[in-house]
Amino acid sequence: MNIAKLALAAVGIAALAKAAAAIPRPGPVGNKAVPQPAKPVEIERYMGRWFEQFRYEASFQKDCEGVIADYSLNPDGSVKVVNSCNQDSLEGKYRQSSGKAKVVDAATNAKLKVSFFGPFYGDYWVLDHGDNYEWSIVGEPSGRYLWALTRDGQPSTEMAAMLEQRVKAMGYDWSLVRQTQQRRQ
């Protein structure tokens, strides 16, 4: 009887360890004082395709290249989110994840909650964006996540430099940034 209990306990511990390994792990804090969003967001203009230029590496995006986010409005006013990437290289295995976001600050539309795992939502703050929605800087209040997105997969050198300077001015630690490879269009 004791051997059976030990075997059952070992199986249970192994299952818990496997489940714990699947939980996304946040990276280090790269900004201890994340600013509030700089300006309101017109949700309809924010919809469409975005190409990730750089990010703080996160376990759920580890080694992803060619990262693309597609946003569209659902009939109920929430946002359909489809993120895709290629694992390890631009020719790597294709991965896609679908989720849902909802605006939580109707005064600015700049703060959303996004979920890829049922009832579990995380913060998605549009910290700043171009006047014509040609670029966007996204973060959240813990300072552990950061994304810079553009409408063009290969933005100009000037835009890339501006995004770098802007995130530094917001207080983000540039040494934690991981550049994202994108295909030539």
Look at residue 25 in the predicted model and tell me its pLDDT: 55
pLDDT tens digits in sequence order for the chain, 185 residues long: 555 444 344 444 433 333 333 445 567 887 888 999 999 999 999 999 999 999 999 888 899 999 999 999 999 999 999 999 999 999 999 999 999 999 999 999 999 999 998 889 999 999 999 999 999 999 999 999 999 999 999 999 999 999 999 999 999 999 999 999 998 87
Nearest to 159 by CA among 184, 179, 181, 130: 130
Q: Where are the domains of the chain?
A: 43-179
Let me know: does 135 contact 42? Beta carbons within 8 Å.
no
Model confidence, pTM: 0.84
In words, the CATH class of domain 43-179 is mainly beta
